[in-house]
Amino acid sequence: MQLSGPEILRRMKLNNPHNPGEYGCPDIIIKPFDERCLGSNSYDLHLSPKMRVYKNTVPYGMLPALKYDPAHKYTMEDWFGGMWRNRYDPRNDTYEKYLKGDPEYDFRNPKFLIDPTKSNETGEFTIPETGAILNPQFGYLASTVEYTETYNLFPYIDGKSSLGRNFILNHHTAGRGDDGFCGTWTLEIRVLFPTVVYPYMRIGQIYYEEFTGNRKQYNENPSSHYNGQMGPTPAAPVPVDLFIKDLVEKKR
């Protein structure tokens, strides 16, 4: 059963059982919190200024994002430095290579491979107050401004309808949380078209549902990877469970 907005607020104000009348043991913690962001059955979350990209996925000479200037008439060349690049630098011929169809700038090139079983190095940039233009060919790791803690409930995040209608995807299959999760939420952002995003824009909403059964809290599970995460957090290596292979082979 999904919690309503007023119920979310009530759960945030549960009394401390050891000291009645004092807050201290809420089921839901959201920091910072403002009731203007509380909806009918969710709470709106905001985009933190810091973003990350996997370095291996950005071709040499290309920018992962562009500073947005509404007065500037953008072209494809801007992804390669545009009017800011040094045309007298012989190393700065990446745009010309791109125009010639150099495979170094073909995103199907295996040089951009990601191995999910290993750690992948990231680079960080800050979204300026004027906004940043995201590239449809890149995946971006971002995070919510809000730090949340959830107990006795199942939290999950999703995009807002206005984001969807602008073809902004704020998570890839990873919008589900856990009872006991504490931290900011990492977002896996993709856009269908070059799209401007701004720091502190509403980037999604968090929902809460009740569940049944004995609890297995995320913050007490030794196999949990992301509890306490702050800011855009790269993926932990995905395990290859050879014990499953052994179970399969035993059944043959």
The reply to whether 96 and 171 lie within a common domain is no
Along the chain (252 residues), what's the average pLDDT of each consecutive run of 10 residues?
Answer: 91 66 74 94 95 92 93 92 55 81 90 90 94 96 94 90 91 79 92 96 94 65 61 73 82 70
State the residue range of the domain holding 80: 52-126
Q: Is 37 helix (H, G, I), strand (E, B) or coil?
A: helix
Q: Is 170 helix (H, G, I), strand (E, B) or coil?
A: coil
Last residue of a domain, one of 126, 148, 178: 126
The reply to whether 202 and 142 lie within a common domain is yes
Q: Rounded distance, CA 67 to CA 2, Å?
A: 39
- So what's the pLDDT on residue 84? 47
Q: What contacts 189, CB < 8 A, 6 or more positions away?
A: 51, 134, 139, 140, 141, 142, 168, 169, 170, 171, 197
Is the distance from CB of 150 to CB of 177 less than 8 angstroms? yes
The reply to whether 39 and 61 lie within a common domain is no
- So what's the pLDDT on residue 171? 85
- So what's the pLDDT on residue 33? 94
Is the distance from CB of 172 to CB of 155 less than 8 angstroms? no
Last residue of a domain, one of 93, 126, 159: 126
The reply to whether 136 and 116 lie within a common domain is no
- So what's the pLDDT on residue 225? 56
The reply to whether 86 and 119 lie within a common domain is yes
124 assigned to active site: no
Q: Rounded distance, CA 117 to CA 241, Å?
A: 11
The enclosing domain of 170 has a CATH number of 2.70.40.10
Which H, E and C letters describe 73-117, residue by residue? CCCHHHHHCHHHCCCCCCCCCHHHHHHCCCHHHCCCCHHHCCCCC
The reply to whether 39 and 141 lie within a common domain is yes
**Using CB atoms within 10 A of its CB, is residue 96 exposed (0-12), middle (13-18) or buried (19+)?**
exposed
The reply to whether 59 and 42 lie within a common domain is no
Structure tokens at 129: 């107050």
The reply to whether 176 and 190 lie within a common domain is yes
Is the distance from CB of 29 to CB of 11 less than 8 angstroms? no
Give how many domains the chain has, as a whole number.
2
The reply to whether 242 and 121 lie within a common domain is no
The reply to whether 140 and 186 lie within a common domain is yes
Catalytic, out of 7, 104, 149, 188: 188
Last residue of a domain, one of 61, 93, 126: 126
- So what's the pLDDT on residue 126? 95
The reply to whether 15 and 108 lie within a common domain is no
Is the distance from CB of 180 to CB of 220 less than 8 angstroms? yes
| Type of residue found at 248 | V
Q: What are phi and psi of 216, to 5 degrees?
A: -135, 85
The reply to whether 63 and 150 lie within a common domain is no
